[in-house]
């Protein structure tokens, strides 16, 4: 039933904004005037095509009178023509149905100009949105709990990450042959490509990591060239200082942790302050994480003192000389 909807959109060549189903259980599990309960599988389909599901009201045939008329038309002009014919496979049956359907759509109206195909091409088709890259595939759904000690859920022999803020939460896992989607409170919180490699245990998105894990991963994948480029983006003195620090060691990797610590201080003190600290360090001929940290602390203290001394409520010496 759901696949028939996908094929219908492909036949139309686009996607509408709204789909209005009848109150069949495959679409609406519990009909209600104000808040009908929609079938979860149909909602997955709607999410894939980005359409709104607004069902027809129960016992209100006028909500779908055009559809009812279309059903009658198919019975009279297509199904009736198939009676007595024998088909040995679905391909030949579908071919005949398509032929009859095209004949119906291109048959001219009796009381107005044009036909159904022309009306569709002129009014409906221009309003359709593009189809997604691939057809909807009905997912397998199960519940899983995000690890309290980490931020992964276990699925099919692999561990897929969720944003670390969802530790300990119960989430819905929706999987197809190509993707693993994690949902919380009917909202997507993660989407992974499904992994089939038995050698790969963890599938982790960088943005799902807590800050300390992100910094560790950045440090693990950094090189001297990347540190130099990072330093250069801050300023020439920072670049000169980091380059000197890297050249100080026979094995360059020994300086990586110091470089990471120094460059990250721009987040705490500002890039301008770090650039000034590196300038002073280069002029004094000193270098290292601790030295840069001391210079930055001193710069901040001087800035704080300057702000204190120039406070608008402080009375200058001239105040007391007034007669």
Q: Which contacts qualify for 152-160: CB closer than 8 Å, 24 or more apart?
A: 152/202, 152/204, 153/182, 155/180, 156/194, 157/198, 158/195, 158/200, 158/201, 158/202, 158/203, 159/201, 159/202, 159/203, 160/190, 160/192, 160/203
How far, in Å, CA of 191 to CA of 274, rounded?
38
In this predicted structure, the answer to whether residue 252 has a pLDDT above a threshold of 90 is no
For the domain 2-127, what is the CATH superfamily, name and number?
A: Ribonuclease H-like superfamily/Ribonuclease H (3.30.420.10)
Mean pLDDT in residue range 280-301? 90
Task: State the pTM of this model.
Answer: 0.52
Mean pLDDT in residue range 46-56? 92
Mean pLDDT in residue range 282-297? 90
Question: What does the pLDDT read at residue 53?
Answer: 92
Share of the chain above pLDDT 90, in %: 59
How many Cα neighbours within 13 Å face the side chain of 68? 8
CA 138, 144, 146, 148: dihedral to nearest 10 degrees?
Answer: 180
In this predicted structure, the answer to whether residue 293 has a pLDDT above a threshold of 60 is yes
pLDDT tier, 59 (very low <50, low <70, confident <90, very high otherwise): confident
**Beta pairing class for 152-155 and 158-161:** antiparallel
Tens-place pLDDT, residues 294-316 = 999 998 888 877 776 655 555 55
Sequence-distant (6+) residues with CB within 8 A of 152 are 146, 159, 160, 161, 162, 202, 204
pLDDT tier, 153 (very low <50, low <70, confident <90, very high otherwise): very high
Lowest mean pLDDT among 10-14, 38-42, 66-70, 315-319: 315-319
pLDDT tier, 245 (very low <50, low <70, confident <90, very high otherwise): very high
How far, in Å, CA of 239 to CA of 109, rounded?
77
Tens-place pLDDT, residues 183-221 = 998 789 999 999 999 989 999 998 999 888 887 777 777
Question: What does the pLDDT read at residue 316?
Answer: 56
In this predicted structure, the answer to whether residue 223 has a pLDDT above a threshold of 90 is no
Question: What does the pLDDT read at residue 315?
Answer: 57
In this predicted structure, the answer to whether residue 43 has a pLDDT above a threshold of 60 is yes
Q: Where are the domains of the chain?
A: 2-127, 140-209, 222-309
């Amino acid at each position: 039933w759901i696949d028939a909807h996908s094929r219908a959109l492909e036949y139309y060549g686009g996607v509408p904004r709204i789909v209005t189903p009848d109150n069949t259980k495959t679409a609406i599990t519990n009909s209600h005037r104000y808040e009908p309960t929609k079938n979860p599988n149909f909602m997955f389909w709607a999410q894939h095509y980005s359409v709104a599901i607004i069902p027809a009201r129960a016992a209100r045939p006028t909500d779908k009178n055009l559809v009812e008329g279309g059903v009658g038309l198919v019975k009279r002009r297509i199904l009736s023509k198939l009676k007595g014919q024998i088909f040995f496979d679905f391909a030949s049956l579908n071919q005949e149905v398509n032929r009859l359907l095209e004949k119906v759509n291109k048959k001219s109206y009796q009381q107005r100009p044009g036909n159904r195909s022309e009306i569709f091409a002129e009014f409906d088709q221009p309003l359709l949105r593009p189809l997604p890259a691939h057809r909807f595939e009905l997912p397998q759904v199960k519940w899983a709990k995000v690890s309290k000690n980490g931020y992964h859920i276990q699925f099919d022999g692999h561990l897929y990450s969720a944003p670390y803020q969802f530790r300990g939460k119960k989430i819905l896992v929706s999987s197809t042959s190509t993707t693993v989607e994690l949902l919380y409170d009917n909202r997507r919180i993660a989407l992974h490509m499904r992994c089939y490699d038995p050698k790969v245990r963890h599938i982790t998105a960088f943005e799902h990591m807590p800050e300390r894990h992100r910094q560790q991963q950045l440090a693990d994948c950094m090189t001297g060239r990347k540190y130099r480029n990072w330093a250069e983006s801050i300023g020439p003195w920072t670049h000169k200082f980091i380059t000197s620090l890297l050249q100080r060691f026979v094995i360059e990797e020994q300086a990586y942790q110091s470089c990471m610590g120094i460059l990250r201080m721009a987040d705490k003190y500002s890039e301008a302050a770090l650039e000034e600290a590196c300038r002073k360090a280069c002029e004094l001929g000193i270098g290292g994480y601790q030295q840069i940290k001391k210079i930055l602390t001193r710069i901040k203290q001087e800035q704080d003192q300057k702000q204190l001394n120039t406070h608008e409520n402080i009375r200058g010496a001239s105040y007391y000389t007034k007669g």
